[in-house]
Amino acid sequence: MSRNLKARDIAQRPNAVVRKDNHSWQVQSTDGRSNYTVIDWGDRKQCNCVDYRRRKQECKHIKAVEYVVLKERFGDLIN
């Protein structure tokens, strides 16, 4: 599964992406056994998973957050 598909899979699980405050989310891992923290710095997001730390690029947890944020804002338009 690609990162995008995994991200969408996480985003569609109930309570897998939980907003903690204005700048951070708690995101479930793919296997559902642990959680990562995604922080929004305004111009970029960071995650504390291994994938992000290695690649310094958007991991599936960050993509899951962005998917949920878009769904919150625009979901009503397409449902």
Q: Which positions touch Zn ion (CB under 5 A)?
A: 36, 47, 49, 52, 59, 61
Q: Which is nearer to Zn ion, 48 or 71 (CB)?
A: 48
Question: What is the full DSSP assignment across 50-77?
Answer: HHHHHH-S--HHHHHHHHHHHHHHHHHH
- Minimum CB separation of residue 77 from Zn ion in Å reads 28
Q: Which is nearer to Zn ion, 36 or 67 (CB)?
A: 36
Q: Read off the amino acid at residue 51.
A: D
DSSP-derived secondary structure letter, 43: S
- Minimum CB separation of residue 70 from Zn ion in Å reads 18
